[in-house]
Structure 1
């Protein structure tokens, strides 16, 4: 059995040499602890393996695909979004808690969960699968340095990850996004679309457009982005952000988004008219140490608020081995009810 397996593996590898220019294998493993105010402190382990394939046609067209085994393993039909600490969790994007069933949907034609495919020619790139929408791809986020095991710095109730329609404000898309990018010099323009689950209702498709500018201006690495995203009978979002990295290792950022909520919205923001978000971030990198801090606040109809901050620190020991620590804090005032919660994680990450 072992000999047959080895022979089969060699055959697949040989076929790959003939049909593609490059097949790369990468991954990471994490181990440590995590917990919080409403979470018992417990062990944390995670492992991720990614296959990246690329090639080039005779006319210069490039193409490729990647498969994230950690993201694609298991079924996708039973994934639900957590509701704690209330509306803030849904509004800010939340964290997904999935119950994996016996049937894996990772390679089903109409849904994606960790795979993306692209073709590119002359500055134009078409990407389909588990990829970012145009707003998410073009507008920078405020987690500027460091990283944690449990993403504490990006899951608090004041963070805007640009994914309100992919699991936050709306959770009805099928996870398969088509995005067209055009890059010329320092400017990149993007268009994207995401269908309702299995393309059920084209009137509810999610559309987005975004533009970004990235260049070194006067010794500052600037990254500016603006995006628009909308879905009929749900909401429209306009988002803008600017980040700058200095030569001394300091980086700064600010972001703002405005939400126009439809009267027919039946999700987490049903009954609301509008909302806005303001966020700031700061990061500092010195030799092997990287530390990032961000803060944000959502205001809904000028009354309800969800705010929070996140801290992440990474110390690189070399060779792909890192020590990581993170902390996130959320404070909400929804319908006159105040609440707060926090999370933390601590441990090591190994990059391969």
Structure 2
């Protein structure tokens, strides 16, 4: 009797597993990177033996975010680090999938990711927030750690040169939209997309996190700011056009923030390219204006592809970036990648950045 019961239990468990699917995918990359005037911010705990004095550092590093000036406290310190460092990333996507008899597909994803810490040290791997999806025909609905309409917009990111994709045509955009978080909890929002033929429509919504402050010693809660965005995409022949608009609720005493983006992308034989134009209206006047950029990729043959990207903006403090890269396909999902480019914010000095390494997909 016990043997029959154990056999029945095992059969039921096997049937349950067979009705669903768990998939693993991702990539690894590692190499070397050069960043001119490289710096990093640290949160440090300090002991202030002269309470009430202004904090300084022996190295001249910048101190911000001091939480207390009593005998002990915490502060954020920005300091220079090595310009040439080892860089790496390991990413593993874990997808649980089930499909009903009627063809409705349910998915859930978490991601395990480990990155370098921008100062030559290795970072620890950790799981991010979960994303849940329901898919039926051309309809898709995501909930949880979502990528919003901008993050999903066709040709928003274009071609990004370098092993670390450190140059982007979108560099002049300063609006903060809902993006999928690989290492954090994410925004906990909802994304909707419907595709039919050559047309697709998307929309997303999330509520910002509540914040607590203590002005005058009175603990006060500020509600999160609602944020939504919509998009439309149309593909005709070898060209795809996409437009998106997003808005974030005004903060107390402030004004709402908005972003409008138009992208064009196309392929012509071995050449592909994208155009990018955006208008953002954010809380800082020095960041409001038009952002623009372009990117391109060209297949030279012999398994080699060249990439290029340029991004800038009309606002005083917008970030300008431009650079080139190359990819050499080794086969089997492995490739050698590298890039070199310049970046500067506003009227600041341009900083050189370059990297080279290997990437393998699995």
Q: Tell me if both proteins adopt one fold, taking TM over 0.5 as the criterion.
A: yes
* Deviations, residues 37-78 of structure 1 (Å, cap 9, x unaligned): 11321112221111122221122211112221117x9xxxxx
Q: Give the corresponding residue for 1:340.
A: 350
Asked if 1:231 corresponds to 2:274, the answer is no
Instruction: Please tell me whether residue 148 in structure 1 is matched to residue 148 in structure 2.
Output: no
Task: Pick one of 103, 127, 135 that aligns with 2:150.
Answer: 135
Higher helix share: 1
Query: What do residues 181-212 of structure 1 show as CA deviations (whole Å, max 9, x unaligned)?
Result: 11111111011012112698666111000011
SS at match of 2:230: strand
1:307 aligned onto 2:320: yes
Q: SS in structure 1 opposite 2:264?
A: strand
Can you give the 5+ residue segments of structure 1 that lack an aligned partner in the other structure? Answer: 1-9, 74-78, 80-94, 107-112, 168-172
In the TM superposition, residue 34 of structure 1 has moved relative to its aligned partner by: 0.8
Q: Which of the pair has more CA radius of gyration?
A: 2
Instruction: Name the CA distance, whole Å, in 2 between partners of 1:339 and 1:19.
Output: 58
Question: Does the C-alpha gap of structure 1 residues 295 and 273 become closer, same or farther in structure 2, counting only changes over 3 Å?
Answer: closer
Q: Is the 8 A contact 2:161 2:309 kept in 1?
A: no
| 8 Å Cα contact 2:275-2:293 kept in structure 1 | yes
1:320 and 2:333 are equivalent in the alignment: yes
Q: Partner residue of 1:41?
A: 84
Paired position in structure 2 for 1:69:
112
TM-score (norm 2): 0.69
Q: Paired residues, what number?
A: 285
- Partner Cα distance (1:183, 1:201) in 2: 38
Give the match's secondary structure for 1:17.
Answer: helix
Deviation at 1:343, TM superposition (A): 1.7
Give how far 1:258 is off: 0.9
> 1:202 and 1:62 mapped to 2: Cα distance?
35
- Kindly state the Cα deviation for residue 133 of structure 1 after the two structures are TM-superposed: 0.9
After superposition, where does 1:160-309 map in structure 2 within 5 Å?
164-166=176-178, 175-197=187-209, 204-215=225-236, 217=237, 221-233=238-250, 234-247=256-269, 249-261=270-282, 265=283, 269=284, 271-272=285-286, 274-287=288-301, 288-300=303-315, 303-309=316-322
Deviations 1:212-256 (A, max 9, x none): 1134x1xxx212110001112241111101011112x10122111
Find 2:101's aligned residue among 40, 55, 58.
58
Unaligned runs of 5+ in 2: 1-9, 39-82, 180-184, 212-220, 251-255
CA 1:322–1:273 in structure 2 vs 1: closer, same or farther (change >3 Å)? closer
User: Secondary structure, in 3 states, of the residue corresponding to 2:113?
Assistant: helix
Q: Structure 1 residues 326, 161: closer, same or farther in 2, change over 3 A?
A: farther
Structure number with higher relative contact order (C-alpha < 8 Å, ≥ 6 residues apart): 1
Contact 1:61–1:119 (CA under 8 A) maintained in structure 2: yes
Alpha-carbon distance in structure 1 between the residues aligned to 2:131 and 2:186: 14
Q: Is the 8 A contact 1:33 1:347 kept in 2?
A: yes
